[in-house]
């Protein structure tokens, strides 16, 4: 029975156990945990890059030196060998950005998904 997209964190153990078969990943490139599974684009389906992400944000108006310190501390932890390996084991690609890069990314995600959310009249309950 076909199943729709599943995040790698719950999917990888099921794939390893033979309970699910991965047909494609929706990431821009193949993931190390499933090196033989093509991307959607490689399978001929363009424009379906979807991936979960996690970020940390400070309240608006937080002084720049505090934002810089928090950003540096979070970057150091995320990119540490222990945490980076744990993320990788879960099928996540650890990366850290600057506060400005993260703000740009969020604006791009809003611009990307807002039209579809509006078109489908998706609402939070």
The pTM of the whole model exceeds 0.85: no
| Domain regions of the chain by residue span | 1-52, 54-125
SS3 sequence of the chain: CCCCCCCHHHHHHHHHCCCCCCCCECCCCCCCCCCCCCECCCCCCCCCCCCCCCCCCCCCCCCHHHHHHHHHHHHHHHCCHHHHHHHHHCCCCCCCCCHHHHHHHHHHHHHHHHHHHHHCCCCCC
Query: What is the tens place of the pLDDT at every residue in 62-109?
Result: 999 999 999 999 999 999 999 999 988 887 888 889 999 999 999 999
| Bridge partners, residue 25, by sequence | 39
Fold of 1-52: D-Maltodextrin-Binding Protein; domain 2 (3.40.190)
Six token digits for residue 97: 């950005």
Six token digits for residue 98: 């600057």
């Amino acid at each position: 029975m076909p199943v729709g997209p599943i995040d790698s964190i719950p999917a990888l153990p099921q794939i390893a156990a033979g309970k699910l078969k991965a047909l494609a990943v929706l990431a821009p490139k193949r993931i190390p945990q499933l090196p033989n599974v093509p991307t959607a684009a490689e399978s001929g389906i363009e424009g379906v890059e979807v991936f979960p992400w996690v970020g940390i944000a400070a309240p608006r108006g937080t002084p720049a030196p505090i934002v810089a310190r928090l950003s540096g501390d979070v970057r150091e932890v995320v990119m540490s060998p222990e945490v980076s390996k744990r993320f990788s084991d879960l099928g996540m690609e650890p990366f850290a950005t600057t506060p400005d890069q993260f703000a740009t990314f969020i604006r791009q995600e809003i611009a990307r998904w807002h039209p579809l959310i509006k078109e489908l009249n998706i609402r939070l309950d």
